Structure 1
Amino acid sequence: MTKVEIDISKDLEFIRQVPSVNWSILINKILKEKLREIQDIKKIVARSKLSEADAEEIAEKVNTEASKKYS
């Protein structure tokens, strides 16, 4: 298994006070969902006639919505 180290922003440091959450499982789930979204977008773009700029714009919108969902 690969280990990943992340920096937690100051506004999220309160998570240290939440001992009952298995952060490894939670982050793993979030990463899987995000990677699945990226994979799906790549499949769509491969079949699409969108320009690379259009695809990047759509990916940015997905990223923004995903960050809203998890914040």
Structure 2
Amino acid sequence: MPNITLSIPPGVYEKMKKHKEVKWSEVARKAIIEYLEKLEEGELEVSSEELLEELGEDFVKDLESIPDEKFEEYYKKAREAEWKRLKSFMTRTY
């Protein structure tokens, strides 16, 4: 199973340390699965602003620190990858 790293505010971490009986990775895993299910069922529409707020200030600062040239490069790569994905999907379904 792949691993991910989460950043949380120090105050939340201190509270989590007080509850060593809780398997926090399981709590996070279940929350992510539930969130994905809601997204896939169309129950959850998230605006860019809401998503950035949920991801936190550190993420926003990291995002803002990306130079425009790098952002443009990443965007072009993502656009090309999405085009290839759609093209292969369209080829398979017709």
TM-score, structure 1 normalization:
0.56
Residue equivalent to 2:41: 40
SS at 2:22's partner residue? coil
SS at 2:8's partner residue? coil
* CA distance in structure 1 between the partners assigned to 2:11 and 2:39 by the alignment: 27
* AA in 1 matched with 2:12: L
**Superposed structure 1 runs of 4+ greater than 2 Å apart:** none
Unaligned runs of 5+ in 1: 45-57
* AA in 2 matched with 1:40: E
Q: What is the CA RMSD across the aligned residues, in angstroms?
A: 2.6
Pair 1:60 & 2:61 matched: no
Alignment size in residue pairs: 49
Q: How far has the Cα of 1:39 moved from its partner?
A: 0.3
TM-score, structure 2 normalization:
0.43
Residue equivalent to 2:22: 21
Instruction: Kindly name which structure, 1 or 2, has the bigger radius of gyration based on alpha carbons.
Output: 2
* AA in 2 matched with 1:37: K
* AA in 2 matched with 1:39: E
Q: How far has the Cα of 1:26 moved from its partner?
A: 1.0
Question: Any idea what the Cα deviations from partners look like across 1:42-70, whole Å, max 9, x if unmatched?
Answer: xx7xxxxxxxxxxxxx6138x7xxx8xxx
* AA in 1 matched with 2:19: V
